[in-house]
């Protein structure tokens, strides 16, 4: 699925099942919440915190994937609401990074 197709599918879902978009500020809050949920699982897997007893048996990789997908969903919602073409945005961003950072990570300062 392309980014454009994902934006379209999310838009169709929101219009058919979701009853319309939440406000942009509400979606920003939801985005922040989802990033926090992903961070919790990342800390459990890669950081110093161990799983809570209630989290035992959970597939952490699957939980992280679920949270990343929730984040992507909300970003797609925000892009749709704000009439932002994320395909065009990522293409511009790659070009910007290529121009600006083409040797940044291979030529490190001593």
- Collapsing DSSP to helix, strand or coil, 48 comes out as coil
Token digits for 84?
A: 């932002």
45 CB-side CA count, 13 A = 15
Integer angstrom CA distances of residue 102 from 46, 94, 97:
29, 11, 7
Reported as a single tens digit per residue, the pLDDT across 94-104 is 999 999 988 88
- pLDDT band at residue 109, thresholds of 50, 70 and 90? low
- pLDDT band at residue 110, thresholds of 50, 70 and 90? low
CATH topology of domain 3-85: Helix Hairpins (1.10.287)
Reported as a single tens digit per residue, the pLDDT across 74-94 is 999 999 999 999 999 999 999
Reported as a single tens digit per residue, the pLDDT across 12-64 is 999 999 999 999 999 999 999 999 999 999 999 999 999 999 999 999 999 99
Which pTM value belongs to this model? 0.89
């Amino acid at each position: 699925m392309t980014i454009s197709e994902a934006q379209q599918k999310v838009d169709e879902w929101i219009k058919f099942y979701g009853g319309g978009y939440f406000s942009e500020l509400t979606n920003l809050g939801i985005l922040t919440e989802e990033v926090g949920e992903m961070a919790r699982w990342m800390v459990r897997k890669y950081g110093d915190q161990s799983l809570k007893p209630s989290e035992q048996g959970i597939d952490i990789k699957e939980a992280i994937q679920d949270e990343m997908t929730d984040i992507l969903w909300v970003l797609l919602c925000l892009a749709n609401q704000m009439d932002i073409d994320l395909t065009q945005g990522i293409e511009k961003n790659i070009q910007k990074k290529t121009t600006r950072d083409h040797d940044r990570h291979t030529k490190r300062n001593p």
